[in-house]
Structure 1
Amino acid sequence: MKYFLFTLLAALIIMQFFRIDKSVPEYNKTNDFIALESPPEAVSHILVKACYDCHSNETIYPWYSEVAPLSWWLASHIDEGREHLNYSTWGEQSLKRKKHKLEEMIEEVEEGEMPLTSYTLAHWEASLTADEKAALINWLTKVNSGL
């Protein structure tokens, strides 16, 4: 048992030497979703608090991003989130892709799929109230119909 615990401790210590990349990719801030679509302040606040950490280049890394293997799991979520939708590169997308992403955003919020439960457990402030969901969905629908 001692050998197992020593090995486990050694493995955890060694893991800490394998850091995640927290560098901010270069991007043109004029291509950002909020800059281009000019949401009302309340909607902008909702987007930043519930979406931007995983779906933009403006991630604010929490303290546990320093602790492997949690940091690896976090980095994986951020990479996947940016791959699906990156608000920081919104202006670079085609009109067809923008419309599709807006439809996906509406669907994900309506179905309660976003923000992820695993995210809101650690970031309770990112949980959306019924009123916030309605405001976000209504505004996204308006933007989508205007494209």
Structure 2
Amino acid sequence: MKARTYLLGGLILILGAIQLIPNDLPEVQSTNPGDIFVSGLLDDGMHQILKYTCYDCHSNETAYPWYSHVAPFSWLVAKDVREGRDELNFSLWAEYDMMEKLKKLDDISIEVGEGEMPMEIYTVIHPGAKLNTEQVKEIVAWAENAMDIVAEEEE
């Protein structure tokens, strides 16, 4: 019994101590003039789907939940957001050249179509972000149509 008390006390002490390690969450910006929504590539409905299911990791408009400020979860959230923004940042859409836009739209079509996005770990914690079959089809169709629009704009 005494060993169990020491073990529990030690665990609490460690969890308390790691809270002192600085949290390096990527910055949130609510004003993003280069956002994909401004580009005219998507309507309000598609914008809402993307905003609800993708923007936490793939934009500068991340809505950090309470657990993102508690170590060690904060480290995972920060890592996922950094990697997500590096891969695709809807807030910086205007900064991508035509080839980057086409590649990112193709990746969206493939990743969403194959059920790789949104990530399962995200939908477990945010079940409302899980895409249904119809939403998957809508996103894939939108991404493929947007590729045609982007290619035409550059001609």
TM-score using structure 2 length: 0.88
C-alpha contact (below 8 Å) 2:28/2:61 kept by paired residues: no
Deviation at 1:105, TM superposition (A): 0.5
Identity rate, percent: 36
Deviation at 1:21, TM superposition (A): 3.1
Q: Look up the match of 1:55.
A: 58
Unaligned stretches of 5+ in structure 1? Answer: none
C-alpha contact (below 8 Å) 2:34/2:94 kept by paired residues: yes
AA aligned opposite 2:13: A
Q: Look up the match of 2:145.
A: 142
AA aligned opposite 1:83: D
Deviation at 1:24, TM superposition (A): 2.6
Distance in 1, Cα, partners of 2:69 & 2:146: 38
Alignment of 1:3-18 (within 5 A): 3-18=6-21
Aligned residues between the structures: 147
> Runs (4+) of structure 1 moved beyond 4 Å?
25-28
Q: Which has the higher contact order (CA 8 A, sep 6+)?
A: 1
Q: Look up the match of 1:128.
A: 131
Q: Look up the match of 2:86.
A: 83
AA aligned opposite 1:123: H
Instruction: Name which one, 1 or 2, has greater alpha-carbon Rg.
Output: 2
1:35-89 CA-partner distances (Å, limit 9, x unpaired): 1134122111110011000000100001111211011111111111011111111
Q: Look up the match of 2:111.
A: 108
CA RMSD of aligned residues (A): 1.7
For the pair 1:39 / 2:7, whether they are aligned, the reply is: no
Distance in 2, Cα, partners of 1:83 & 1:99: 16
C-alpha contact (below 8 Å) 2:28/2:62 kept by paired residues: no
C-alpha contact (below 8 Å) 2:88/2:104 kept by paired residues: yes
Q: Find the residue that maps to 2:33 and give its secondary structure.
A: helix
C-alpha contact (below 8 Å) 2:32/2:91 kept by paired residues: yes
Q: Find the residue that maps to 2:102 and give its secondary structure.
A: helix
TM-score using structure 1 length: 0.92
